[in-house]
Structure 1
Amino acid sequence: MTLPMILGMILLMTFGLVDTFFVSLLGTDQLAAISFTFPVTFTLISLNIGLGIGTSATIGRYLGGGQTHLAREYATGALMLSFALVGILALIGLFTIDPIFRLLGATEEHLPYIRDYMVVWYAAGVFLAMPMVGNSVLRASGDTKTPSIVMAAGGLINAVLDPLLIFGWGPFPEMGIQGAAVATMIAWAVGVFYIIGLLIKRDLMLARLLSRQELRETSGTILKIGLPAAGANMLTPIAAGVLTAIVATYGTEAVAAWGVGSRLESIASIVILALSMTLPPFISQNMGANKFNRVREAYRLSLRFVLGWQLLVFGVMWLLANWIAALFAEEPAVAELIQLFLAIVPLGYGLQGVIILSNSSFNALHRPMSALVLSLLRLFVFYVPFAYLGSVIDGLNGLFWGCVVANLCTASIAFLWFNQVVSREQGEQTGQLQRQE
C-alpha cells in the first residue's frame, strides 16, 4: 500500500519544489516572496489533510460494515464540506494578504510578488480541496494506486506549465511569479473533474448534492475526527510562520535559504508521509482484532525503518549540499546558507518521522486529541522555543541545531506515550472480554 503512495507523492511534492526552482531563476526577492507564502499555503493544505483523515476513518467504517449508501452519502458530504470550508478561508485570506505577510516579516519589496502569487493561489486552493478529500475516499476503499496516479498527474501538469507561464515560452504570456500559481491552479482543476467523475462511476459518492440536513449530519461525524486532525496539521504552518519571522531578522538571503530548505524537507520526507497514510489502517484493523502484538510490531518496525532511511537521506543531502545550493541559488550568500541548512537540519528528519507516525497512529486509535496534544508539544514547547533559543546563542547555526534537538525530545515522548496507550487499550479490551465471559 505504501509504494504507490511514495511514487505519487514524489511527483505531488514537485508542486512546491518545481515552483521554487523556476521562481529562483527570477531573482532573490521573488524566491524570498514565495518562501513567505509556504506557511499560509500549507495551512489550507493542512485543513484538507485533516478532513481527509476524518473522511477516511468514517468511510472505511461504513464500507467495512456493508453500509454502502451511508458511505456514498458521507463521501459526498465530505467533498461539499471541504469545498465550503476552504472557500471561506481562501476568501478571508484574499482580503488579508498584506497584514498577514507583513506579520510574517515580508518587506514592501516582497509584497507585490506575494500579492501576484497569492491572489491566484487562493482560487487554486478551492480546487485542491476536492481531489485531496476524494483521494481519502479511495484509500478508505482500499485503493492506493488511483490516488497516486492523480497526485502524479497533477505534479506533472504543474511541472510542464511552470516554465511556460513563468517565462512566457512559445505562445504563453510571461506572468512571472504569478505563472507558478496559475500552473498549480490548472493542475488541481484537472484533478477535480477526474476524481469526482471517478467516484461517481465507482458508486463511492452520490450523483447529487446533499440537503442541508444531510450535510449537517455527515459534517458532524467527519469533523469529530477531522477537526482535531486538521488542527494538528495546521499547527505546523503556524510554527513555520513564527520561525520564518525569526529567520527574516537575518535578511532576505536567510529567508530565501530557509524557503528552499523547507521545500527540500517535503521531498526528503516523502517516505514518512506515505507511511503515515498506510500504517493507520493496519493499526486500526489489528486493534479491532485485539492483535496488540502486531500493532506494536508494525509501529516499531516502521520507526526503525524510518530512522535508518532518513539517516541515509541525510547522508545524501550532506554530500550533495554544494550542488543543491548551486542549483537553487545564484547569490553566494544564499548558497552558503542553504549548505548550512543541509548540513544540520536533515539530521533530525528521522526523529521527525517518529513524531509523524506516532501522530497518525493516534488517529488510527481514534485518539485525535492525543495527536493534537503531541503536535502542540512538538511545535510550541520544543520546536519554536528551542530554535529561538539556539538563534540567540549562535545565530542561524544555533537555530538549525535547535530544530534537531527539539525533534529528539518530542520523538522520545511520542514513542513512550504511544506504547503506554496501546498497553492501556489492551488492558481495557482484556477487561471487557473477561466481563463478557
Structure 2
Amino acid sequence: MSPLLQRLTWPVLGGMLTMMSFNLVDTFFISLLGTAQLAAISFTFPVTFLLISLAIGLSIGTSAVIAKALGAGLADTAKEDSLAALWLGAALVSVLALIIAFYLEPLFSLLGATDTTLPFIREYMLIWLAGSVLLVTPMIGNAILRAAGETKIPSLVMASGGLVNAVLDPILIFGLGPVPAMGMQGAALATVFSWLTGFIFIIYWLAVKRGLLDRFYLPLSLALPIWRRILHIGMPAAVANMLTPIAMAILMVIIASYGPEAVAALGVGMRLESIACLVVLALSMTLPPVVGQNFGAGLLGRVQQAYFTACHFVLKWQAGVFLLLALLAYPIAALFTQDQQVATYIRYFIWSLPLSYGLQGVIILTNSSFNALHLPAKAMILSLVRFFVCYIPLAWLGAKIAGVPGLFIGAMVGNLLTASLAYYWFKQVIQRYQ
C-alpha cells in the first residue's frame, strides 16, 4: 500500500477496529443467553444496518458539501451546512425508526423470525430504535470533522463508544449489585449509552473545540437548500449502501428455513466479517479522496496506480486473514456457542465465505472509486449486479444443492464473479478517459 494511503487509512482503521471489536464482544455476551437470543440478534442485523446505511449516505453527502465550503474559504457557510446536516440526519433516521417500530412484528416475521425469537427481538429493537438518533449524530459529526481535515478525533469517538458498550454489556445483560439482569434489553441499553457517549463527545468537539457549531437552530429557509445539496450526493450513496442490508435480509429469509441454529451461525459470521474486512472498509473511506483529487488534476496514471495498489493489497491481506480464521475455526465456534449444530454452521461459514473477502474488497473499492470519479450510476449498477444477479441467486442455488454449507459456497462464488467484472469494468472506464 502506498505511503499516502497508509497515512490516511491507519487512523480510520484504529477507531473502526476498536468499535467493531466491541460489537463482537456484544455478540459474545448475548450468545451466553442462549441460541434463541443469538438467533434474535442475528435477525436484527439487516434492519439495524438499514438505518446505519442511511446515516452513511448522509455522511458522504455532508462531507462533500462541507469540504467544498471550507475549500472555498466560506467558514460561515460550513457552519450552516454542519448544523443543517445534523438536523437532517436526526429527522430522517427518526422517521425511518418510527416506521420500523410500527411494523416491527410483521417485518421480522417476514424475515423468518418465529414466536420463539420475536419476543427477544422486540425487547432489543424497541430500545435500539428509540436511541437511534444518538447513532446518526456522531456519524455525521465525524464526517464534518473529516471534511475539516480532522482524522484522529473521529477515531476516538468510535473507540470511546465501543469501550462504553463493552463495559456496560455484562453489567446490564447479567446484572451486577443493584443493577438487575435485563437480558436483551440490557444489551440494547448498553448500545444506546455508547451512542450517548459519542453524541456528547462530538457535539462538544464541533461546538467548543473546532467552532463548527455556533448555534443549534437554523431557519427552514436556510436549511432547505442545504438539505437539497446534501441529499443530491448523499441519497444515491445511501440507496447503494441500503442494498447491502436488503441482500442480508433476503439471505436471512433463505437461511431461516434451516432453523434458528443456522440463523444464529449467520449472525456470528456477519459480526466476524465486520472485523475481518476492516482494512477494506477503512480503505474504502480513504481511497476516494486520492482518486478524486488525481482525477480532478487529470493525473489518470495516479488514479490507476492508487486503485490497483489498493486492490492488490486487499487480496493479499484478506488471504492472510482467511488462513488465520480457518486455523482458529474450532475455538472461534466454541467461544460463541455450546450448541454443536450452531458451532458446525459457524465453522462452515469460516471455511468458505472469508476465502472471498479479498474479492469482496475489490468490489467495494471499485464502487468507492466510481463514486470518486463522479460515476454513481456505475457504482449502483455494480451493487445491483453483485447482490441480485450473483450473490443472492448463487447462495440460493447453493442452499438448494447442499443446504447451509452450499449457501455459503454459493455466496463465495458470487463474490468471485462480481469482483472479476468490477476489476475489468474499472480498467475499461479509465482507458476511455485516457
The TM-score with structure 2 as length reference comes to: 0.96
CA contact (8 A) 1:314 1:346 kept: yes
Corresponding residue for residue 394 of structure 1: 402
Residue 132 (structure 1) shift: 0.3
CA distance in 1, matches of 2:303, 2:212: 29
Residue 419 (structure 1) shift: 2.5
CA distance in 2, matches of 1:64, 1:196: 23
Corresponding residue for residue 427 of structure 2: 419
Sequence identity (%): 57
Residue 244 (structure 1) shift: 0.6
Corresponding residue for residue 14 of structure 2: 7
Task: Confirm whether residue 137 of structure 1 aligns to residue 152 of structure 2.
Answer: no
In structure 2, what residue type is equivalent to 1:72?
K
Residue 139 (structure 1) shift: 1.1
Corresponding residue for residue 172 of structure 1: 179
CA distance in 1, matches of 2:43, 2:194: 22
CA distance in 2, matches of 1:221, 1:12: 30
Task: Confirm whether residue 225 of structure 1 aligns to residue 225 of structure 2.
Answer: no
CA distance in 2, matches of 1:216, 1:196: 22
Q: 70, 80, 83: which is aligned to 2:77?
A: 70
- The DSSP-based 3-state class of the residue aligned with 1:195 is helix
CA contact (8 A) 1:52 1:136 kept: yes
CA distance in 2, matches of 1:369, 1:206: 37
- The DSSP-based 3-state class of the residue aligned with 1:13 is helix
CA distance in 1, matches of 2:391, 2:232: 27
CA distance in 2, matches of 1:174, 1:386: 43
Partner deviation per Cα, 1:176-229 (whole Å, 9 max, x = no partner): 011111000011012112111211221223423221121110111111111010
CA distance in 1, matches of 2:393, 2:23: 27
CA distance in 1, matches of 2:361, 2:212: 32
User: How does 1:32-431 map onto structure 2 within 5 Å?
Assistant: 32-201=39-208, 202-424=210-432, 426-427=433-434
Residue 412 (structure 1) shift: 1.4
Mean Cα deviation higher: 208-217 or 301-310: 208-217
Residue 370 (structure 1) shift: 2.0
Mean Cα deviation higher: 190-199 or 263-272: 190-199
CA distance in 2, matches of 1:138, 1:175: 36
Partner deviation per Cα, 1:129-160 (whole Å, 9 max, x = no partner): 00001101111122111100000000000000
CA contact (8 A) 2:23 2:162 kept: no
In structure 2, what residue type is equivalent to 1:222?
I
CA distance in 2, matches of 1:404, 1:185: 34
CA contact (8 A) 1:235 1:376 kept: yes
Partner deviation per Cα, 1:298-331 (whole Å, 9 max, x = no partner): 0000000000000000000000000000000111
Structure 1 residue runs without a partner (length 5+)? 428-437
Partner deviation per Cα, 1:399-427 (whole Å, 9 max, x = no partner): 11111111111111111222333333x34
Residue 363 (structure 1) shift: 1.6
CA contact (8 A) 2:345 2:405 kept: no
CA contact (8 A) 2:56 2:139 kept: yes
Pick closer, same or farther for the CA change 1:77–1:423 going to 2, 3 Å: farther
- The DSSP-based 3-state class of the residue aligned with 2:213 is coil
In structure 1, what residue type is equivalent to 2:32?
L
Partner deviation per Cα, 1:38-94 (whole Å, 9 max, x = no partner): 000000001101111111122112212222222221121111110000000111111
Corresponding residue for residue 432 of structure 1: none
Pick closer, same or farther for the CA change 1:47–1:292 going to 2, 3 Å: same
Structure 2 residue runs without a partner (length 5+)? 1-7
- The DSSP-based 3-state class of the residue aligned with 2:225 is helix
The TM-score with structure 1 as length reference comes to: 0.96
CA contact (8 A) 2:175 2:182 kept: yes
CA distance in 1, matches of 2:427, 2:82: 33
CA contact (8 A) 1:225 1:368 kept: no
In structure 1, what residue type is equivalent to 2:117?
H
Residue 248 (structure 1) shift: 0.7
- Segments ≥4 residues shifted beyond 3 Å: none
In structure 2, what residue type is equivalent to 1:112?
P
Pick closer, same or farther for the CA change 1:322–1:145 going to 2, 3 Å: same
Pick closer, same or farther for the CA change 1:419–1:62 going to 2, 3 Å: farther
CA distance in 2, matches of 1:206, 1:366: 32
CA distance in 1, matches of 2:136, 2:378: 25
CA distance in 2, matches of 1:222, 1:418: 26
- The DSSP-based 3-state class of the residue aligned with 1:218 is helix
Mean Cα deviation higher: 62-71 or 388-397: 62-71
CA distance in 2, matches of 1:382, 1:111: 31
CA distance in 2, matches of 1:131, 1:187: 11
CA contact (8 A) 1:14 1:159 kept: no
Partner deviation per Cα, 1:272-313 (whole Å, 9 max, x = no partner): 111111111111111111111111100000000000000000
